[in-house]
Amino acid sequence: MVAKIAIPVVSLLLVVGIVIGVVASVNRSAKDPAADENLSPHMKAVTQICQPTNYKDECMKTLSGANSTDPKDLIKAGILAVAESVKKSFNMSDDLVEKAENESNRTKTALSDCKELLQDASDKLQDIMEKVGASDISTIANRSEDFRIWMSYVISYQELCVDGFDEDSTVRTDVRQSTEVGSQLTDNVLTILGGIQQVLSSFGLKLNLTSLASAGGDQDDHHRKLLSKENGGYPTWMSAADRKLLASNPKMTPNAVVAKDGSGQYKTISAALAAYPKNFQGRYVIYVKAGVYAEQAKVAKGMKNVYMYGDGPRKTIVTGHLSYAKDGLGTWKTASFIVEEDGFIARSMGFQNTAGPEGHQAVAVRSLSDRSAFINCRLDGFQDTLCYQGGRQLFRNCVLSGTIDFLFGYGAVVVQNSLIIVRKPMENQFNTVTADGRKERGQPTGIVIHNCRIVPELKLTPDRLTVKTYLGRPWKAYATTVVMESQLGDLIQPEGWKPWAGSMFLDTLYYAEYGNRGPGASTARRVTWKGVHSVLSRSDAMRWTVDSFIQGREWVANTGANVIYGLKA
């Protein structure tokens, strides 16, 4: 996990048609509400929509040139500004690639990765713009959580780009500067969408919105509307194919069968995925027979709603050994199994990276699949086992093992009813279960560990009290991690959490615990950082359930998972 890139920040400011006099007028109105009378209707609209944002100056500069009082047009202008910023970062990284002749191989690799990642960010923004264009403001408001998750992908791509460089790289610093404004502009859009009800009220719009809650909101009415007796109790938006999948046995008739012994249609998972039909509708079901599949399999863009199941997590195994230290790859490129498309489901399979602790960053699974689930699966590795890169993800009835930061990423993930195994690291190393990468305040992301057990592996057991293990450390400024209703072994250090570097992020992170049990669950000696909430109230804990945090009631039933939507007790 890692890195940054440089051009003057001024060149990145998206001053969309701003005149100094207009900015001065806006600044006066911010200080003196009476000055609003002197503003044009457009600038009043801009002031209203920018009010809740965390980077107001950037918001005002961006939207001043939109020449509209329509909130939808202003939201579109905000997204277009992000796209323009990403384009500038891409062009700069492209220039740096040409000038990188004297840089290290790792820097050259990171720059090449940046081009790919920033292109991915641009593609995502294009997709979001198409969805916004096809929606009225009521639909955008109703789907605000979807749009917030999708916009958060942009930050994850930018951060993966930056994180590919060594910490002491001057190029990293340059890259960080080039992506910073884009990150701030994205946060502004996220914040506007997060408070869309208040934003629309300020415009005098009162809509009958079915879902306006951000993480923690009460969506019971919304859920009742989604569930329809006419559809057999399934959500009204669920396709007939998905209802059929849910009603059937998990081991349903596959579209493709993979078997190493030749008894299936394909001998590799990659070959079965390559056969995914163009413009396929419904679920593409792949049955992977027992065997060890040494391949870097990827559910690529365009392969939507893949359902992949095996003969058990210790029988059907996808394995790899790529790593940051041994192979010189960016962390994100080391994954044994990659999911890049939405709606993915894995059941009864194992995924591993065998690079060992010496490989340092070595990912078993990297997923940026929104509304995806891993059920009865096993993920084994050491450092960085799971990268939840983006989207809303559920891990249910799984086994996840590792050492340092082995559950890390930028998405919104709930790990529920699972066994989390802490492994033995190298000499003089410590263990951290999580390292969340939420960078901006407005992101609806983080990791929740719910009704799980955290235990040491057998090799660590004799040294579990001397090899220090922590619940997590803050990888990014707004790192968000909640551990609730879980069994914590005595290997968890009394202070609970570890700093990333000095006092960095300790005031902005959000770390919380609720209803945990076991010898490692005592909060009496937990760290007392501003962002730590060692004793969470029940109402606050409800914000982090499958139901509220990842809007699970809207889609988890589609995965066939027997899930706890609220709190256990």
Nearest-CA neighbor of 513 among 495, 500, 501, 499? 495
Residue closest to 445 by CA, chosen among 388, 486, 527? 388
Sequential DSSP letters for 305-358:
TEEEEES-TTTEEEEE---HHHH---GGG--SEEE-SSS-EEES-EEEE---GG
Q: How far apart are CA 412 and CA 394, in angstroms?
A: 9
With vertex at residue 276, the alpha carbon angle to CA 130 and CA 377, rounded to the nearest 5 degrees, is 95
DSSP-derived letter for residue 475 is S
Given the residues 384, 463, 490, 540, the one annotated as active site: 384
Nearest to 426 by CA among 532, 548, 325: 325
CA distances from 312 to 107, 290, 346, 423 (A): 40, 8, 11, 22
384 is catalytic: yes
405 is catalytic: yes
Q: Which listed residue (405, 463, 490, 507) is catalytic?
A: 405
What distances in angstroms separate CA 26 from CA 16, 17, 21, 73, 506, one per listed residue?
15, 14, 9, 19, 34
DSSP H or E run through 226: helix 220-226
DSSP 540: H
Helices (H), 9-134: 20-31, 41-50, 56-63, 71-98, 105-133
Q: What's the number of CA atoms in the CB half-sphere (13 Å) around residue 509?
A: 30
Rounded Cα gap, residues 61 and 212, in angstroms = 27
Query: Cα–Cα distance between 315 and 294 in angstroms, integer?
Result: 13
**Separation CA 209–CA 81 (nearest Å):** 27
Q: Which residues are catalytic?
A: 384, 405
